[in-house]
Structure 1
Amino acid sequence: MTIDVILPCLNEEAALGWVLGRMPDGYRPIVADNGSTDRSAQVARDHGAEVVHEPRRGFGAACHAGLLASSAELVCFMDADASLDPAQLPRVAAPVLGGRGDLVLGRRVPKAAGAWPPHARLGNAVLAANLRRRTGAPLHDLGPMRAARRSALLALELTDRRFGYPLEMVLRAAAAGWRIAEVEVDYLPRTGRSKVTGTVRGTLRAIADMRRVMSA
């Protein structure tokens, strides 16, 4: 069985080689390039990945472009910045494959100092607590490594195309009665500067996007 892995990408040339080189057998990478100005697309092709170009800027836009381009029954999402190890994708996919969950998120466990800045970790914890109260889902992390059935995801009709996309996915899945679970995955220091936690502007933009999704 082939599982498609969607990797939203914006200028991740330095990280992509490591990420794609550790992709497990049976996991087919789809790099959703969101307007990179470096060699990300070429590096992805050199490592055998399918490249989808999404000119509309936004994390959700890239994720959704990858979802539309996928063809596998089961799809995974993960960041392309080397902060997550693709070798651990089977941990996240297993509950869905085994019929024990409909949406499974990787709960990040930092493995090195600096992997998860304190302000970002605190913000994530507050968001996860709000999600538990609102949905009843036993989540402690809005993890970017996740797995679900492609057809079911498309049926959710996600509309956010910015940083609210992962949150909207959880909210709509909970509203649809999905079984939502999480499993632990390693969290590593990313390669390069984060588009979210790496700048004040990026952090504020992500917070605003998620507040908008929560209020909607």
Structure 2
Amino acid sequence: MSQAIIDVIIPAFNEEKSIPKVIHDIPKFVRHVVVANNNSTDQTAAVAEKAGAVVVFEGQKGYGKACLTAMDWIKNQEIQPDIVVFLDGDYSDYPEEMTGLVQPILEGKADMVIGSRALGERESGSMTVPQVFGNWLATTMMNYIQGAKFSDLGPFRAIDWPKLLSLNMVDQNYGWTIEMQIKAHKAGLKYLEVPVNYRKRIGVSKVSGTVKGVFGAGYKIILTIFKYW
């Protein structure tokens, strides 16, 4: 673990209360924690920087857009990472479980590891009914249409950095996670899932917390599945 270079990407929009907790719990073997401040109107950038993260700014709102901006920052570093880990900034994930995601990649057992909330323990109320149903529907459709076997579209994931670059990620919003999984499957990457625990987020979700967010995410996810059919 100590010989591998591992960077973390956290897309964040108005997460000033949670982002310091997330950064604090990230294992010490990580080199850079890159917080993509997605046009926040609170102190997300300031508190993330104070907690020790590198903060990059992305003015165009969108989960995928923020991830792409953070990736661009990493691309410009003189020494490139071996693995990149993605997780959310709302403290719903358990960053200390990161070892379980990167270890299979270091051992050559996988190119991408998805932290599956469906296989782990979920705190009551941590996922809404539309979220649970949406994950089931999306993973079932991926299995039926593409033969990709996943149980979750969980944001907590680790992937070999050169392999990630080879996927040519383009989605700028809700389709980011499923695009990565479909492209990894179609490219023949080795992937697996590990159970991760999940708790109630700090603050209100920008997706599951609004009717517009739920329907917008659902539409984009289904659209992405058919786009890469």
CA-atom RMSD in angstroms: 1.2
User: For residue 176 of structure 1, what is the aligned residue in structure 2?
Assistant: 187
- 1:100 counterpart = 2:109: yes
Segments of 5+ residues of structure 1 without an aligned counterpart are none
Residues in 1 aligned to 2:87 and 2:103: alpha-carbon distance in whole angstroms: 15
Is the contact made by 2:111 and 2:190 (CA closer than 8 Å) also made in structure 1? yes
Question: CA contact under 8 A between 2:13 and 2:39: conserved in structure 1?
Answer: yes
Residue identity over aligned pairs, in percent, reads 35
1:15 and 2:18 correspond: yes
Q: How many residues are aligned here?
A: 216
Secondary structure in 2 matching 1:158: coil
The structure with the greater share of residues assigned to strand is: 1
Q: Which residue of 2 aligns with 1:43?
A: 47
| Aligned equivalent of 2:81 | 72
Unaligned runs of 5+ in 2: 75-79
- Normalised TM-score (structure 1): 0.96
Task: Name 2:95's counterpart in structure 1.
Answer: 86
User: For each residue in 1:95-132, what CA deviation from the matched residue of structure 2 results, as whole angstroms up to 9, or x when unmatched?
Assistant: 11111011110011344211111221111111111122
TM-fit CA distance, 1:18: 0.8
1:214 Cα offset (Å): 1.4
Matched position secondary structure for 1:87:
helix
Q: Secondary structure at the match of 1:183?
A: strand
Of 153, 159, 163, the residue aligned with 2:164 is: 153
CA shift at 1:145, angstroms?
Answer: 0.6
Structure 2 residue 13 is the aligned partner of structure 1 residue 5: no
* Cα offset, 1:26, TM superposition: 1.3
Aligned counterparts of 1:198 and 1:214: Cα–Cα separation in 2: 23
